[in-house]
Amino acid sequence: MSERLPIAPRAGSAARTKIEADPRVDLKSMPRERLGLWFKEELGEPRYRADQVFSWLHQKRVRSFSDMTNLSKALRGRLDEVARIGGLTLEEVKVAKDGTRKLLLATAAGDLIETVIIPMEDRLTQCISSQVGCKIGCDFCLTARMPLRRHLAASEIVDQVLWAQEVIGEGKSINNLVYMGMGEPLDNYSNVLASLKTLTDEQGLHMGTKRITVSTSGVVPKIAKLGADIKVNLAVSLNATTDAQRTALIPINKVWNIETLMAALRAFPLPPRRRITVEYVMLAGFNDSLEDAVRLTRLLRGLRCKVNLIPFNPWPGSVYKRPAADHVDRFAVVLRDADYTVTVRYSKGEDIGAACGQLDGAPQAA
Ligand code: SAH
Ligand code: SF4
Protein backbone atom coordinates (compact mmCIF):
# COMPACT_ATOMS: atom_id res chain seq x y z
CA MET A 1 0.00 0.00 0.00
CA SER A 2 1.38 3.36 -0.87
CA GLU A 3 0.02 6.81 -0.43
CA ARG A 4 1.47 9.54 -2.61
CA LEU A 5 1.62 12.86 -0.89
CA PRO A 6 0.93 16.14 -2.60
CA ILE A 7 4.44 17.45 -2.38
CA ALA A 8 6.42 19.78 -4.58
CA PRO A 9 8.53 18.07 -7.24
CA ARG A 10 12.07 17.28 -6.25
CA ALA A 11 14.76 19.84 -6.95
CA GLY A 12 16.20 19.52 -10.45
CA SER A 13 19.83 20.19 -11.26
CA ALA A 14 19.40 23.98 -11.51
CA ALA A 15 17.72 24.10 -8.12
CA ARG A 16 20.34 21.75 -6.76
CA THR A 17 23.20 24.08 -7.66
CA LYS A 18 21.32 26.96 -6.13
CA ILE A 19 20.65 25.11 -2.87
CA GLU A 20 24.17 23.77 -2.52
CA ALA A 21 25.50 27.27 -3.05
CA ASP A 22 23.11 28.69 -0.43
CA PRO A 23 25.51 30.45 1.94
CA ARG A 24 22.92 30.84 4.68
CA VAL A 25 23.59 28.96 7.87
CA ASP A 26 21.35 25.95 8.63
CA LEU A 27 19.74 26.62 12.00
CA LYS A 28 18.12 23.21 12.28
CA SER A 29 21.56 21.57 12.27
CA MET A 30 22.62 23.44 15.41
CA PRO A 31 22.20 21.98 18.89
CA ARG A 32 20.64 24.56 21.24
CA GLU A 33 23.94 25.54 22.85
CA ARG A 34 25.47 26.38 19.47
CA LEU A 35 22.31 28.17 18.34
CA GLY A 36 22.52 30.37 21.45
CA LEU A 37 26.10 31.37 20.61
CA TRP A 38 25.18 32.08 17.02
CA PHE A 39 22.28 34.33 18.07
CA LYS A 40 24.57 36.26 20.37
CA GLU A 41 27.51 36.59 18.00
CA GLU A 42 25.75 37.03 14.66
CA LEU A 43 22.59 38.85 15.66
CA GLY A 44 23.39 40.34 19.06
CA GLU A 45 20.22 38.66 20.32
CA PRO A 46 19.84 37.14 23.80
CA ARG A 47 19.98 33.39 24.37
CA TYR A 48 16.27 33.09 25.12
CA ARG A 49 15.51 34.08 21.52
CA ALA A 50 17.57 31.13 20.33
CA ASP A 51 15.64 28.90 22.75
CA GLN A 52 12.38 30.16 21.24
CA VAL A 53 13.58 29.38 17.72
CA PHE A 54 14.84 25.95 18.84
CA SER A 55 11.44 25.10 20.24
CA TRP A 56 9.68 26.33 17.08
CA LEU A 57 11.89 24.03 15.02
CA HIS A 58 11.99 20.92 17.17
CA GLN A 59 8.77 20.95 19.21
CA LYS A 60 6.32 22.81 17.02
CA ARG A 61 7.99 21.56 13.84
CA VAL A 62 7.53 24.76 11.82
CA ARG A 63 9.34 24.98 8.51
CA SER A 64 9.55 28.72 7.92
CA PHE A 65 10.58 31.78 9.92
CA SER A 66 7.28 33.49 9.11
CA ASP A 67 5.50 30.92 11.33
CA MET A 68 7.55 31.93 14.38
CA THR A 69 4.94 34.34 15.60
CA ASN A 70 6.54 35.32 18.91
CA LEU A 71 9.51 36.87 17.07
CA SER A 72 9.33 40.43 15.77
CA LYS A 73 8.79 40.90 12.07
CA ALA A 74 12.18 42.56 11.83
CA LEU A 75 13.95 39.60 13.40
CA ARG A 76 12.10 37.14 11.17
CA GLY A 77 13.18 39.16 8.13
CA ARG A 78 16.78 39.27 9.32
CA LEU A 79 16.76 35.50 9.93
CA ASP A 80 15.50 34.90 6.42
CA GLU A 81 18.46 36.87 5.06
CA VAL A 82 21.22 35.10 6.94
CA ALA A 83 19.80 31.71 7.88
CA ARG A 84 17.78 28.83 6.52
CA ILE A 85 15.88 25.90 8.00
CA GLY A 86 17.53 22.76 6.67
CA GLY A 87 15.78 19.44 6.48
CA LEU A 88 13.96 17.11 4.14
CA THR A 89 10.80 16.93 2.11
CA LEU A 90 8.48 13.99 2.54
CA GLU A 91 8.00 12.21 -0.79
CA GLU A 92 6.14 9.06 0.04
CA VAL A 93 4.83 6.91 2.91
CA LYS A 94 4.52 3.16 2.42
CA VAL A 95 2.67 0.95 4.87
CA ALA A 96 3.53 -2.78 5.17
CA LYS A 97 1.07 -5.55 6.06
CA ASP A 98 2.54 -5.68 9.58
CA GLY A 99 2.04 -1.94 10.14
CA THR A 100 5.67 -0.95 9.50
CA ARG A 101 5.86 2.39 7.72
CA LYS A 102 8.66 3.46 5.41
CA LEU A 103 9.11 7.16 4.72
CA LEU A 104 10.90 8.19 1.57
CA LEU A 105 12.43 11.63 2.03
CA ALA A 106 14.38 13.94 -0.28
CA THR A 107 17.28 16.21 0.61
CA ALA A 108 17.39 19.72 -0.85
CA ALA A 109 20.00 18.43 -3.30
CA GLY A 110 17.54 15.82 -4.57
CA ASP A 111 18.99 12.69 -2.95
CA LEU A 112 16.50 10.16 -1.60
CA ILE A 113 16.82 8.57 1.81
CA GLU A 114 14.65 6.29 3.90
CA THR A 115 13.53 5.92 7.48
CA VAL A 116 11.33 3.18 8.91
CA ILE A 117 8.80 3.26 11.75
CA ILE A 118 8.33 -0.17 13.30
CA PRO A 119 5.47 -0.98 15.71
CA MET A 120 6.57 -3.34 18.50
CA GLU A 121 3.80 -4.24 20.93
CA ASP A 122 2.55 -0.85 22.11
CA ARG A 123 5.77 0.98 21.25
CA LEU A 124 7.18 2.56 18.13
CA THR A 125 10.79 2.15 17.10
CA GLN A 126 12.23 4.32 14.37
CA CYS A 127 15.25 3.36 12.30
CA ILE A 128 17.02 6.39 10.86
CA SER A 129 19.65 6.96 8.17
CA SER A 130 22.88 8.89 8.63
CA GLN A 131 24.28 8.99 5.10
CA VAL A 132 23.17 8.78 1.47
CA GLY A 133 24.81 5.46 0.60
CA CYS A 134 27.72 4.04 2.59
CA LYS A 135 31.39 3.62 1.91
CA ILE A 136 32.06 0.69 4.25
CA GLY A 137 30.99 -1.74 1.53
CA CYS A 138 29.67 -4.73 3.52
CA ASP A 139 29.15 -7.66 1.21
CA PHE A 140 25.67 -8.56 2.52
CA CYS A 141 24.16 -5.05 2.61
CA LEU A 142 22.11 -3.47 -0.14
CA THR A 143 22.99 0.08 0.95
CA ALA A 144 26.61 -0.79 0.16
CA ARG A 145 25.74 -1.18 -3.53
CA MET A 146 25.31 2.58 -3.56
CA PRO A 147 28.55 4.54 -3.18
CA LEU A 148 28.66 7.13 -0.44
CA ARG A 149 27.00 10.12 -2.05
CA ARG A 150 26.81 12.43 0.91
CA HIS A 151 26.89 12.71 4.69
CA LEU A 152 23.52 13.82 5.99
CA ALA A 153 23.49 17.17 7.79
CA ALA A 154 22.34 17.09 11.41
CA SER A 155 19.13 18.81 10.30
CA GLU A 156 18.49 15.98 7.83
CA ILE A 157 19.01 13.34 10.51
CA VAL A 158 16.78 15.12 13.03
CA ASP A 159 14.13 15.83 10.39
CA GLN A 160 13.55 12.10 9.86
CA VAL A 161 12.24 11.99 13.43
CA LEU A 162 10.25 15.21 13.07
CA TRP A 163 8.58 13.84 9.93
CA ALA A 164 7.87 10.55 11.68
CA GLN A 165 6.12 12.48 14.47
CA GLU A 166 4.09 14.28 11.82
CA VAL A 167 3.11 11.02 10.12
CA ILE A 168 2.12 9.13 13.31
CA GLY A 169 0.12 12.11 14.55
CA GLU A 170 -0.42 13.66 17.97
CA GLY A 171 -1.01 11.43 20.97
CA LYS A 172 1.64 8.92 19.91
CA SER A 173 5.37 9.31 19.89
CA ILE A 174 8.49 7.54 18.76
CA ASN A 175 9.65 5.54 21.79
CA ASN A 176 12.93 4.13 20.55
CA LEU A 177 15.37 5.42 17.99
CA VAL A 178 18.01 3.32 16.27
CA TYR A 179 20.71 4.62 13.92
CA MET A 180 20.51 1.50 11.79
CA GLY A 181 19.22 2.82 8.47
CA MET A 182 21.35 3.79 5.50
CA GLY A 183 24.94 4.68 6.25
CA GLU A 184 27.60 4.28 8.90
CA PRO A 185 26.81 6.77 11.70
CA LEU A 186 30.37 6.91 13.04
CA ASP A 187 31.67 7.82 9.56
CA ASN A 188 29.55 11.00 9.82
CA TYR A 189 30.52 11.62 13.42
CA SER A 190 30.06 15.34 14.03
CA ASN A 191 26.66 15.55 12.34
CA VAL A 192 25.45 12.42 14.13
CA LEU A 193 26.62 13.83 17.47
CA ALA A 194 24.86 17.16 16.78
CA SER A 195 21.67 15.25 15.93
CA LEU A 196 21.90 13.26 19.19
CA LYS A 197 22.31 16.45 21.23
CA THR A 198 19.31 18.03 19.54
CA LEU A 199 17.03 14.99 19.78
CA THR A 200 17.73 14.55 23.49
CA ASP A 201 17.38 18.25 24.34
CA GLU A 202 14.69 18.97 26.92
CA GLN A 203 13.52 21.92 24.83
CA GLY A 204 13.29 19.75 21.72
CA LEU A 205 11.84 16.26 21.36
CA HIS A 206 13.51 15.34 24.65
CA MET A 207 14.14 11.69 23.75
CA GLY A 208 15.80 9.68 26.51
CA THR A 209 19.43 8.71 25.88
CA LYS A 210 18.50 5.21 27.09
CA ARG A 211 16.07 4.94 24.21
CA ILE A 212 18.60 5.76 21.49
CA THR A 213 21.01 3.26 19.96
CA VAL A 214 23.81 4.05 17.52
CA SER A 215 24.92 1.05 15.45
CA THR A 216 28.40 0.80 13.97
CA SER A 217 30.19 -1.63 11.72
CA GLY A 218 33.24 -1.08 13.94
CA VAL A 219 34.83 2.34 13.33
CA VAL A 220 37.01 1.83 16.38
CA PRO A 221 38.48 5.34 17.03
CA LYS A 222 35.00 6.84 17.06
CA ILE A 223 33.60 4.30 19.52
CA ALA A 224 35.60 5.75 22.42
CA LYS A 225 34.76 9.27 21.29
CA LEU A 226 31.04 8.54 21.27
CA GLY A 227 31.25 7.06 24.75
CA ALA A 228 32.98 10.22 26.00
CA ASP A 229 30.65 12.65 24.21
CA ILE A 230 27.16 11.33 24.99
CA LYS A 231 25.61 8.43 26.91
CA VAL A 232 23.54 6.72 24.24
CA ASN A 233 23.44 2.96 23.64
CA LEU A 234 25.93 1.31 21.36
CA ALA A 235 25.28 -1.55 18.95
CA VAL A 236 28.09 -3.22 17.04
CA SER A 237 27.72 -5.29 13.92
CA LEU A 238 30.15 -8.06 14.74
CA ASN A 239 28.70 -10.48 12.17
CA ALA A 240 31.60 -12.96 12.26
CA THR A 241 33.87 -14.78 14.69
CA THR A 242 37.19 -14.98 12.81
CA ASP A 243 39.11 -12.20 11.10
CA ALA A 244 39.12 -14.05 7.77
CA GLN A 245 35.32 -14.29 7.84
CA ARG A 246 34.82 -10.76 9.07
CA THR A 247 37.21 -9.16 6.57
CA ALA A 248 35.36 -10.92 3.76
CA LEU A 249 32.11 -9.35 4.98
CA ILE A 250 33.19 -5.96 6.35
CA PRO A 251 36.32 -4.57 4.65
CA ILE A 252 37.24 -2.20 7.53
CA ASN A 253 38.06 -5.30 9.57
CA LYS A 254 41.45 -5.10 7.81
CA VAL A 255 42.05 -1.81 9.61
CA TRP A 256 40.34 -2.60 12.92
CA ASN A 257 40.27 -6.34 13.43
CA ILE A 258 38.15 -8.31 15.88
CA GLU A 259 40.71 -8.03 18.68
CA THR A 260 40.95 -4.22 18.34
CA LEU A 261 37.18 -3.94 18.13
CA MET A 262 36.63 -6.10 21.20
CA ALA A 263 39.14 -4.00 23.16
CA ALA A 264 37.21 -0.83 22.21
CA LEU A 265 33.95 -2.46 23.34
CA ARG A 266 35.44 -3.53 26.65
CA ALA A 267 36.66 0.03 27.22
CA PHE A 268 33.32 1.63 26.30
CA PRO A 269 31.98 3.57 29.31
CA LEU A 270 28.66 1.83 29.99
CA PRO A 271 26.30 3.44 32.50
CA PRO A 272 25.02 1.03 35.19
CA ARG A 273 22.56 -1.59 33.95
CA ARG A 274 23.22 -0.84 30.29
CA ARG A 275 24.61 -3.32 27.81
CA ILE A 276 26.18 -3.20 24.38
CA THR A 277 24.10 -4.81 21.64
CA VAL A 278 26.11 -7.22 19.54
CA GLU A 279 24.49 -7.65 16.14
CA TYR A 280 25.13 -10.80 14.19
CA VAL A 281 23.70 -11.13 10.68
CA MET A 282 23.21 -14.84 10.03
CA LEU A 283 24.31 -15.97 6.58
CA ALA A 284 23.54 -19.61 5.73
CA GLY A 285 26.65 -21.76 5.41
CA PHE A 286 28.97 -18.78 6.00
CA ASN A 287 28.91 -17.69 9.65
CA ASP A 288 26.09 -19.75 11.16
CA SER A 289 27.74 -23.01 12.21
CA LEU A 290 27.52 -24.18 15.79
CA GLU A 291 31.32 -23.75 15.96
CA ASP A 292 30.73 -20.07 15.13
CA ALA A 293 28.24 -19.93 18.00
CA VAL A 294 30.79 -21.41 20.41
CA ARG A 295 33.50 -19.00 19.18
CA LEU A 296 31.06 -16.14 19.71
CA THR A 297 30.46 -17.14 23.33
CA ARG A 298 34.25 -17.04 23.88
CA LEU A 299 34.75 -13.71 22.13
CA LEU A 300 32.06 -12.01 24.18
CA ARG A 301 33.10 -13.44 27.53
CA GLY A 302 33.12 -10.76 30.23
CA LEU A 303 31.52 -8.10 28.01
CA ARG A 304 28.25 -6.62 29.29
CA CYS A 305 26.21 -7.29 26.19
CA LYS A 306 23.14 -8.80 24.63
CA VAL A 307 23.15 -10.54 21.29
CA ASN A 308 20.84 -9.70 18.45
CA LEU A 309 20.74 -12.37 15.76
CA ILE A 310 19.50 -11.01 12.43
CA PRO A 311 18.63 -13.71 9.91
CA PHE A 312 19.81 -12.36 6.55
CA ASN A 313 17.26 -10.39 4.53
CA PRO A 314 17.80 -11.20 0.88
CA TRP A 315 17.72 -8.59 -1.86
CA PRO A 316 17.83 -9.05 -5.65
CA GLY A 317 21.31 -10.17 -6.64
CA SER A 318 22.54 -11.01 -3.13
CA VAL A 319 24.77 -14.11 -2.95
CA TYR A 320 23.90 -14.96 0.66
CA LYS A 321 20.91 -16.92 1.93
CA ARG A 322 18.91 -16.85 5.14
CA PRO A 323 19.42 -19.91 7.37
CA ALA A 324 16.40 -22.05 8.27
CA ALA A 325 14.52 -20.89 11.38
CA ASP A 326 15.26 -24.07 13.36
CA HIS A 327 18.96 -23.62 12.62
CA VAL A 328 18.84 -20.04 13.88
CA ASP A 329 17.19 -21.38 17.05
CA ARG A 330 19.96 -23.95 17.57
CA PHE A 331 22.57 -21.19 17.22
CA ALA A 332 20.67 -19.10 19.77
CA VAL A 333 20.50 -22.00 22.22
CA VAL A 334 24.31 -22.31 22.25
CA LEU A 335 24.51 -18.66 23.27
CA ARG A 336 21.72 -18.94 25.84
CA ASP A 337 23.34 -22.00 27.38
CA ALA A 338 26.40 -19.81 27.93
CA ASP A 339 24.14 -17.28 29.72
CA TYR A 340 23.88 -14.64 27.05
CA THR A 341 20.62 -12.77 26.45
CA VAL A 342 19.70 -13.41 22.83
CA THR A 343 16.96 -12.02 20.63
CA VAL A 344 16.31 -13.13 17.09
CA ARG A 345 15.27 -10.19 14.97
CA TYR A 346 13.13 -11.23 12.08
CA SER A 347 12.83 -7.90 10.36
CA LYS A 348 9.51 -6.29 9.76
CA GLY A 349 8.28 -4.52 6.67
CA GLU A 350 9.94 -6.88 4.20
CA ASP A 351 7.10 -6.54 1.70
CA ILE A 352 7.94 -2.84 1.28
CA GLY A 353 11.74 -3.25 1.32
CA ALA A 354 11.99 -1.77 4.81
CA ALA A 355 13.88 -4.60 6.53
CA CYS A 356 17.51 -4.36 7.76
CA GLY A 357 19.85 -4.12 4.82
CA GLN A 358 17.06 -3.52 2.31
CA LEU A 359 17.30 0.27 2.25
CA ASP A 360 18.64 1.80 -0.92
CA GLY A 361 16.75 5.07 -1.23
CA ALA A 362 14.93 3.88 -4.33
CA PRO A 363 11.16 4.21 -4.54
CA GLN A 364 9.72 0.71 -4.93
CA ALA A 365 7.42 -0.31 -7.70
CA ALA A 366 3.97 -0.30 -6.13
N1 SAH B 1 26.17 0.99 9.35
C2 SAH B 1 25.71 0.56 10.60
C3 SAH B 1 24.22 0.73 10.79
C4 SAH B 1 23.35 0.40 9.62
S5 SAH B 1 23.22 -1.31 9.17
C6 SAH B 1 26.11 -0.88 10.86
O7 SAH B 1 26.58 -1.55 9.95
O8 SAH B 1 26.01 -1.30 12.01
C9 SAH B 1 22.18 -1.94 10.47
C10 SAH B 1 22.29 -3.44 10.69
O11 SAH B 1 21.73 -4.16 9.58
C12 SAH B 1 23.72 -3.94 10.85
O13 SAH B 1 23.83 -4.78 11.99
C14 SAH B 1 23.94 -4.76 9.58
O15 SAH B 1 24.88 -5.77 9.84
C16 SAH B 1 22.55 -5.28 9.29
N17 SAH B 1 22.31 -5.66 7.91
C18 SAH B 1 22.74 -5.06 6.79
N19 SAH B 1 22.30 -5.71 5.70
C20 SAH B 1 21.53 -6.74 6.14
C21 SAH B 1 20.76 -7.75 5.49
N22 SAH B 1 20.67 -7.81 4.16
N23 SAH B 1 20.10 -8.61 6.27
C24 SAH B 1 20.13 -8.54 7.60
N25 SAH B 1 20.83 -7.59 8.27
C26 SAH B 1 21.53 -6.71 7.54
FE1 SF4 C 1 27.27 0.49 5.64
FE2 SF4 C 1 26.18 -0.74 7.79
FE3 SF4 C 1 25.51 -1.48 5.27
FE4 SF4 C 1 27.94 -2.03 6.22
S5 SF4 C 1 25.97 -2.83 7.01
S6 SF4 C 1 27.48 -1.18 4.18
S7 SF4 C 1 28.34 -0.23 7.45
S8 SF4 C 1 25.11 0.49 6.23
CB-based burial, 32-60: b 16+ in 10 Å, e otherwise: bebbbebbeeeeebeeebbbbbbbbbbee
| Residue 36: HSE in the Cβ half-sphere, 13 Å Cα cutoff | 9
Q: What is the pLDDT of residues 76-103, one digit of tens each?
A: 999 999 999 999 999 999 999 999 999 9
- Find the largest Cα–Cα distance for the chain: 69
Residue owning the nearest CA to atom 4 of ligand 2: 138
- DSSP readout, 133-182? S-SS--TT-GGGGS---EEPPHHHHHHHHHHHHHHH-TT----EEEE-SS
CB-based burial, 108-118: b 16+ in 10 Å, e otherwise: bbebbbbbbbb
Q: What is the pLDDT of residues 17-74, one digit of tens each?
A: 445 567 899 999 999 999 999 999 999 999 999 999 999 999 999 999 999 999 999 9
Q: Is residue 19 part of a domain?
A: no
Residues contacting ligand 1 via CB (< 6 Å): 140-141, 180, 184, 215-217, 237, 239, 279, 281, 310, 312-313, 356-357
Nearest bound ligand to CA 178? 1
* Ligand 2 and 106: CB distance under 6 A: no
25 strand-pairing partners? 83
- CA of 249 from ligand 2 middle (Å) equals 10
141 is annotated as an active-site residue: no
Residues 6+ apart with CB under 8 A from 316: none
* Range in 10-14, 258-262, 314-318 the model is least confident about: 10-14
Atom of ligand 1 nearest to the CA of 320: 22
DSSP state of 40: I
Identify the helix (H) or strand (E) that includes residue 77. helix 73-82
Q: Is residue 272 part of a domain?
A: yes
Nearest bound ligand to CA 181? 1
Question: The CATH number of the domain where 71 resides is what?
Answer: 1.10.150.530
The Cα–Cα gap between 301 and 303 comes to 6
Atom of ligand 2 nearest to the CA of 250: 4
114 is annotated as an active-site residue: yes
Residue 122 banded pLDDT, cuts 50, 70, 90: confident
Q: Does residue 330 share a domain with residue 253? A: yes
Residue that finishes a domain, picked among 66, 84, 102: 84
Nearest bound ligand to CA 146? 2
Owning domain of residue 172: 89-352
Question: The CATH number of the domain where 210 resides is what?
Answer: 3.20.20.70
Residue 106 phi/psi, 5° resolution?
-115, 140
Q: Is residue 12 part of a domain?
A: no
The Cα–Cα gap between 68 and 57 comes to 9
Q: Does residue 294 share a domain with residue 209? A: yes
The Cα–Cα gap between 323 and 328 comes to 7
The Cα–Cα gap between 295 and 224 comes to 25
Residues 6+ apart with CB under 8 A from 92: 2, 3, 4, 5, 103, 104, 363
Residue 346 banded pLDDT, cuts 50, 70, 90: confident
Alpha-carbon 350 to chain mean position: 18
Atom of ligand 1 nearest to the CA of 279: 13
Q: Does residue 175 share a domain with residue 32? A: no
- Number of domains present in the structure of the chain: 2
CB-based burial, 256-280: b 16+ in 10 Å, e otherwise: bbbeebbebbeebebeeebebbbbb
- Amino acid letter at 333? V
% pLDDT > 70, the chain: 91
Residue 280 phi/psi, 5° resolution?
-140, 100
Residue 351 banded pLDDT, cuts 50, 70, 90: confident
Q: Does residue 129 share a domain with residue 58? A: no
Q: Does residue 198 share a domain with residue 74? A: no
Alpha-carbon 24 to chain mean position: 26
- CA of 344 from ligand 1 middle (Å) equals 14
Nearest to 140, CA basis, from 284, 299, 32, 255: 284
Residue owning the nearest CA to atom 4 of ligand 1: 180
Selected catalytic residue, list 91, 114, 184, 279: 114
